[in-house]
Structures are given as structure tokens and as C-alpha cells.
Structure 1
Amino acid sequence: MFDKLEDLLRKYDELMNELSQPEVINDTKRYTALMKEENDLRPIVAAYKEYKDCKTNIEDSLAMLDEESDDELRELAKMELNDSKSRVEELEKELKVLLLPKDPNDDKNVMVEIRAGAGGDEAALFAAEVYRMYVHYAESRRWKTEMMSLNENGIGGFKECVFMISGQGAYSRLKYESGVHRVQRVPETESGGRIHTSTITVAIMPEAEEVDVEIDMNDIKFDVFRASGNGGQSVNTTDSAVRLTHMPSGIVISSQDEKSQLKNKDKAMKILRARLYELEIQKKQSEEAKERRSQVGTGDRSEKIRTYNFPQGRVTDHRIKLTLHKLESILNGDLDEIIDSLIAADQAAKLANMNQD
């Protein structure tokens, strides 16, 4: 581990030297790429430098205890020694986590797809609530959201919606949200007061650039139609809505939120790229079965990951057996405690897996 850290320290110094060269500063593309690399290395280098300083402090404190006879100075040396030893243990753990292989998609924006599952209108209403939960969470982190595709049920529920969340590290935090979300509550439409269980599925897909996924435009069939709202009333009088069919995968995407056919086509292509990229990621994870087992569910749509129980005001994440009695604040976007716990559990599983190797 320490050989690798020394290599990274040398690499960081070379990088900083390169970033100060006028020819690099004047080359925007090169400078941006190097700054991203520097940004990735900085936390590891800072932790390792602090680790080395603490090790030096331990040696100095031990030397002082050997040489010094003054009681007051010896007491100060003991305190310094204990503090440095404690910090060294913490930093060793931090450095192991920082050295874990980074998910190449972590810095990407995300496409979030929410679909109503079992439970009819109640599932669709819950899908709309979960959409708002993620929008509130995005706002709390100053990320931007944009609706890409929406299919409503007429009473305020969402049969299906796809929206984009743009912001630094969006995928790194939201990737654990993929799976089946279950709600238990008495629906407003239920006169007998019985608790119903409904489900929705959430898929978190990293935004894919054109370089990430190759798409042959000959494989795509485009249909245009007139956009309509609930009840079939005309929303506009031109054929601006777009239906895209990707022949090899069978993926069908409709987009009608924009008044421009070109903008709807562009949104449909973004969704297609994200879905095809997600399929590639799923395939890779399936092939790497050992790594997949060490992860905390980051993609399987069929996995039941969380229950929102209204009568008891609780939310339970089944993967890490975490139960929080603050349903209302979670639905208002207070997701950090759950996400931080999932990240910690994922890192612990990966570290355990690394130690076995």
C-alpha cells in the first residue's frame, strides 16, 4: 500500500509541476484534463502527507521521552505521542478507502427512471412522491433537474417518468437507489382503512456521452405524433412528439415534453444512450461476479431495497438493515443518512473482499 502511495505522491508532484507550465495553461483541453486528475489525487495525497507527519511526530515524541527528564515536557511528549498514534490508525483506514478502485461513472450526471409497479393508481401516486423526494434531494445539493419524459395517470400520479439530475458526483451518491421501493399505507381511495402495499421501480443510469456508447442511426426508427395531455386533449397543434424504437434492443422511448420535435428527439436519444450504457454496465457486473457480491446493490431493478411504512412513520433499507423513524423528512429529500450508510457498507464490503484476495 505504501509503495503505491509513494508512487502517487511522485505523480502528484509531477502533475503540479506540469500544471505550472505556460504551454499547458494555454492548452485548455490539456489543462482541464490535468486539473481533473489533480482533483482526484488531492485527497489521497493530503491524507498520506498527514500520515507521514504523524509518523514523524511519533518518532520525535519517543526521542523526547528517551532524552528529556523534565516532567512537564515528558507529559507533553506523551500527549503528542498518543494523539499521533490515534490519528495514524484513523488515517490508515482512510487511505485504504481512498485507494479503492474508483467507479469511472461516479462523477457523471444521472438519468433517473421511475416506474409504477404493483398497486395501480396508488403505485403511480407514490412514484410521483419519490420523484419529488429526489428533486428535493438534488436541490439540497445544488444539483439541477430536468424532466426528460413523463407519462401521468390523470390524478397526479406518474405511470413512468425519466428525468436528469446534473451535478458533481451525482452518480456516486444516487447509484444505490436502483431497485424496488415499497410503500405501505392506507390509500386515499380506500374506504375501509386497510393498509395496502404498492411498489415502484427506480433505475439510476449514468448519463452516457456519445463516446461511451456507439449507436448506429440505421438501427433506430423514429415516429412523430401530436403531443397530448391527460384525457387526450391537444397540447399543441404540430407533430412535435417523438417515439424512438431501437431495433436491436427493442427499447422504445417517447418524448413529448418540448414543443420542438428536434428537442424531443434529442431528449429521446439521451435516454437511449443512458439505457444502452446501463445494459453494458449490468453485463460487466454480471461477468465480474466476485466484485458484484462485494457491492451493496447498485443496479438490480428486481431487488427490493427499501420500504416506506406510513402507519409507523419509518423507512427501512433492507440491504443494510437500517431503519429510520423520520419518513416525512426523508420524503422531503433528507436522504444523506441513508446514502452515507450505504456508501460506508459498500466500502467495508470491498475492503473485506480486497483483504481476502
Structure 2
Amino acid sequence: MSVASHSARSRVTLKARRLPGWAPAGVGAAAILIAALAVYLPGAGGPVLTSVVAALLFLVGLGALSTVVEGGRAARNRVATSLVYAAFVLALAPLLSVALTLVTKGSERLNGYFLGVSMKGVSAFDNKGGAYHAIIGTLEQAGIATLITVPLGVLGAVYIVEYGRGRLAALIRFFVDVMTGIPSIVAGLFILAFWVLVVSPMFNNGRPEYSGFAAALALSVLMLPTIVRSTEEMLRLVPGALREGAYALGIPKWKTITKIVLPTAAPGIVTGVMLAVARACGETAPVILVALGNPAINFNPFSGGQSSLSLYVYEQAGTASKYAPGRAWAAALTLVVLVLSLTVAAKLLARRNKLAR
């Protein structure tokens, strides 16, 4: 046997057999066809059951075909990969369904008129009114809560990571974890008992003052643990070599934190802040308890009742009127777009940081 023929036979022997590229698609099409003929057309089940049967047939068929052609090892790899893709689709399907429903139903009523008027003087059975007063309330309440919570949360995380040692740091971390699970109604009750019923009467001739500021305080209680925990994790991800290099150059610790550590962790901190803001914008119970709601426009968050988009959705969804669901869906879409816009703007501002790139 010549050397050339031996090399050619070795190449042929070492080359593994593979399924053609169209094989998975063909197996999938066959699985869908069989499932439709066996389940959907006879009326034995709907689209969900048909999809489940088709997925099972696809996994069995692809695994069997791959075992025959490629061997058991490759077949197990193909089945595992298919399961990963299936899990991704299952996780994505509810999100896409909610987004599609929200856009479809919310866009029917969402227009300039809806965004520019309030519900003052509009009855539940009137095909008028909008969410301008609720948008103002959401922006003011979330803005005040952010101004209060972000400095406290970031400074608390800096203390835990950079300075905190021993039992005090562990105690702070424990209480932050406990606060993470506090229901929103408890935060609202706390501000109602402390601020509205005890503190505000001192500045309002002995009468409790329900206001948007009180709602912002309740939202701050809910936002604080999220910001502290997310900032803490981002600060721990900053490489220690950056701190050591700054210390080696004689830079003080406080300046190292403010000029190197925090700018490096800024994108992650911004993400945590926007998660907290999104939660605050979607809370209803605290606003009901301490702001009471208001169908009219109130630009003053420190005096008088104030509404929010989440409260507006809650009120309209519970109203027995054929016009109320449309207003509720439009307000829900407005809230989602508002939070998305704030998140995108915050991420773009964070990307301008040179140290974070």
C-alpha cells in the first residue's frame, strides 16, 4: 500500500458523518405537519397542545435521525441545543405576548389629546379625558424619590464595599436584604403613619397633608434596597488593580473612589437605578395611601392629592364603563414608553464615561 493511498484512507476514516444543514428544518416541518394532522385538525386540541406535540416529535425525530447518522454523542448534543432554544422561546413568548397586547390595545386611544388633558370634570362614562395629570404626578414622584434615594443608596454601597468591616457592615447588609422583600403596601403604611399623620400636621395647622411628596418618600423606601444591592455588586466587580495602582501613585482613598471606582462602575449603577425607578413608577398602593389621587392637574407635589400613571390605570381598569379600558391600556402604554425612554437616556449618558468603556 502506498503512502498516498494510506493518507487518503485515513482522511476518509477520520471524517465524521454529519446531517445536512436542512435536516433540522425538515424534521421540524414534518413534526408540525404530523402534530396538526393528529391534534389540531381533528379538534383534539388547540394551538398550544399542537405546539407541544410538535416540539416533542421534533426532539424525538431529530435525536433518532442524528443517532443513526452521527452517533449518540452528536445526537445528545443536538437534543440539548434544541432544549436550550426551546427554553429561550418559552421565556420570550410571554414577554412578546404582553408587549404585543399592550401596543395593540394601548395605541387605539394614545394620541396628543390623551397626553394633554386630565380627568377633571370628566365622568367615567364620558369618552373624553386623558392622563396628563397622571404623567405629571409620575414624573414628580419618581424624580423626587430618585433624588432622595440615589445618593443614599450609592453612599451606603460605597461604605459597605470600601469601608465597612465587621458586624456593622453585616448588619447593614442584612437590613438591606430584609427591605428588598418589603411589600409596597407596608412602605405606604409606614409613610402614612410617620410622615402624613405625625410630621405633616406640624406644618399644616395640625391637619394631615396628603401629597405627592409623601408618595415619593414611600417610593424611596422601595427603591433604596435595590440601588444599594446593585451598586454594591457593581463596585465589587471593579478590578482591585485599579485601586492598587491609584494608591501606589499616592492618590487618597476618597479620590480613588470618586474618580476611578465609581466612574468604572457607572454603567452597572445606572442599570440598578433604572430598575428601581421602573419599580417605583409601577407602584400603586403607596400612592393610594399617601397621595389619594387627584383627577385634576397638580404641579405642587408638597400640597394636595396627586395621581400617577399606575394609579390611573388601576382606577380606570376598575371602572364599569366601556370607555375606561381604553384609557387604562393607553396609560399603561404611556408608562412603559416613559420608563423605556428614561432607561435609554440614562444608558446613553453612562456610555459617555470614558473609564466605563
Given the two structures, how large is their TM-score scaled by the length of structure 2? 0.23
Structure with the higher strand share, 1 or 2:
1
Structure with the higher helix share, 1 or 2:
2
Higher relative contact order (CA 8 A, sep 6+): 2
Determine which structure has more spread, i.e. the larger CA radius of gyration.
2
